[in-house]
Each structure stands twice: as C-alpha cells, then as structure tokens.
Amino acid sequence: MNGRGFGSRIVRYTPPLFVFGGFIGLWYLVHHVILDDRRRFIVPPPHQVIQDAFLTANARSELLEGLGNTARVALIGFVIATVIALVGAVVMAFSRVAERALFPYAVALQTIPILALVPLFSVWFGPTRTARVVTCVLVALFPILTSFLFGLKSVDRDLQDLFRLNRAGLRTRLFKLQLPAALPSIFTGLRIGAGLCVIGALVADFFFTRGDMGLGRLLNNYAKRLEYEKLFGGVILASLLGVTIYIFIGWIGSRTLRHWHESEAQSS
C-alpha cells in the first residue's frame, strides 16, 4: 500500500519536475546562446538571480518586506471580494429581479480597465493600503461572483422540487442544498480570485509610489536601476505568492469535496 502510494506520488510529480528542468535549461540557453554580449545582462542566469536577490542580506530583506506587504493587501482584498461575491450571489440566486438589477453592473465593472480607475483611487483614498485593497477587490470580484452564482443556480432541479414539496424555507434550501452543491464552483472561483488579487496588489503598487513598499514598487525601482537580478527575484516571489495561495485553496477544496464529489473522488 505504501509502495503504491509512493509510486503514485512519483508519477504525479515527475512531469512538473521535468517541465521545471526544461524551463531552467531554456533560461540558460537564452542567456548564453540566444542573447549577445551586449544584451545578456537583461536575462541574468538563475544562479546569479539566486545569489543577488536571495543570498544577499539587504536584497533578501527588502524583497521579503515587499512580499509581506503585497501578501497582506492581496489577502485582505481576497477576503472582502469573497464576502461581497457570496452575499451578491445568494441574493441573485434567490431573486431574478435582483439578478436583472445587479448583474449588468457587475459585468460593467468587469469591462472597465482597472488601470483607468487606479488614479482615481489615488485621489479618493490617497496612497494608502485602502486604495490597494479596493483595487484587488475590483479585479477579483467578478470571477468569484460569477462562479458562486453559477454554482448556486446549477443545483439539480429535481432536488429543488423535493425541497419545495417538503416546504423547506429559503435558509434550509441554502445551507442544506444549494451551498453544498455549489462548493465545486465556489472553490474554482476562489482559486481564480486569489491569483487575480495578487495581480491587483502588484498593479496598485506600480501606481501608488508612497505608502507601504510592496513588490510592485520594488519591481518598478529595480527596472529603472537596471538591477535585473533583483527584478527576476521579485517576479519569482510574486509568482510563488500566487501559486501558494492557489494551492492552499485547492487543498482546502480537495479536503472538503474528496468524500462526496466526483472530481475529487477520482483524483484521490
């Protein structure tokens, strides 16, 4: 049993490791072969990035501080967007009038370029954490909302009729039927929203040049100073932040759904 589990882990993790090795090899190929001597500095090799960005004390502390500030903004925005999306999806799922009244504005909010709103947030809220959090919320709100709403409205119609025949109230139908049935869609929306919140935090950092020093401002500063080793290090940390949040939410979803939902039962 243990041998079978160990073998399944090898099968599961070998392809990503091969892809990662190929990516590192391509990185070295670009640096040593594709780029000429004059442009080679714009793509520093991986070992140089690790040395200058993560093994140098000053750069490491600066990047970790920026990572902490960006993660804090992204997580706060993610929680707020999740709460707003859940409340809005429940209201629209139980009321067609509310859906017709509110959903067009959610679509309109999604179509507005966020870069056009960030300068307004700077005027309204100043270069504070609030402006960054609002940016994250607006970036992530629509995907989370649509996933929640799709899940709540995709419940089997026969089950809904059964609950109505037994005169179940709205609260019972919500907590005993619709929310459990919508959990796969909910966790899908949360995964998407988590990554978008990290992007929103980075975008806000690029525009708000005062306040907490996040990864976005650091990346901008490194690019201006041609410190490409630190720039690549910041990009790596930003990617790891998004991947970590995504994996954590996926792990929670897997633990929640594995005993009863087909998607997780087949993969476990």
Q: Are residues 226 and 249 in the same domain?
A: yes
Q: Are residues 29 and 85 in the same domain?
A: no
| Res 261: pLDDT | 58
Q: Are residues 30 and 67 in the same domain?
A: no
Region of poorest pLDDT, from 67-71, 88-92, 178-182: 178-182
| Res 84: pLDDT | 94
Please check whether residue 219 is in contact with residue 236, taking contact to mean a CB–CB distance below 8 angstroms: no
Q: What is the mean pLDDT of residues 49-58?
A: 91
Q: 179-204: buried (b, 16+ CB within 10 Å) or exposed (e) per residue?
A: bbbbebbbbbbbbbbbbbbbbbbbbb
Q: Are residues 34 and 68 in the same domain?
A: no
Q: What is the mean pLDDT of residues 5-11?
A: 65
Q: Please state the pTM of the whole predicted model.
A: 0.83
Per-residue pLDDT of 184-206, as tens digits, reads 888 999 999 998 999 888 888 88
Q: Are residues 119 and 21 in the same domain?
A: no
Per-residue pLDDT of 242-251, as tens digits, reads 899 988 998 8
| Token pair listed for 29 | 């190929």
Three-state DSSP class for residue 117? helix
Q: Are residues 216 and 117 in the same domain?
A: yes
Domain containing residue 113: CATH number: 1.10.3720.10
| Res 68: pLDDT | 92
Per-residue pLDDT of 109-166, as tens digits, reads 888 777 777 778 777 887 678 888 988 998 899 999 999 999 888 877 777 767 777 7
Domain count, the chain: 2
Q: Are residues 235 and 109 in the same domain?
A: yes
Q: Are residues 77 and 94 in the same domain?
A: yes
Per-residue pLDDT of 217-239, as tens digits, reads 899 899 989 899 999 999 999 99
| Res 70: pLDDT | 92
| Res 17: pLDDT | 86
Residue 268 — pLDDT band, cuts 50, 70, 90?
A: very low
Distances (CA, A) of 262 to 139, 200, 256, 257, 258: 31, 33, 12, 8, 8
Q: What angle separates helix 129-153 from helix 114-125, to the nearest 10 degrees?
A: 130
DSSP 37: T
Q: Are residues 94 and 210 in the same domain?
A: yes
Q: Are residues 72 and 99 in the same domain?
A: yes
Q: Are residues 34 and 61 in the same domain?
A: no
Q: Are residues 20 and 93 in the same domain?
A: no
**pLDDT averaged over every residue in the chain:** 84
Per the structure, the complete domain to which residue 15 belongs is given by 1-43
| Res 1: pLDDT | 47
Closest CA to 148 of 174, 111, 169, 110: 174
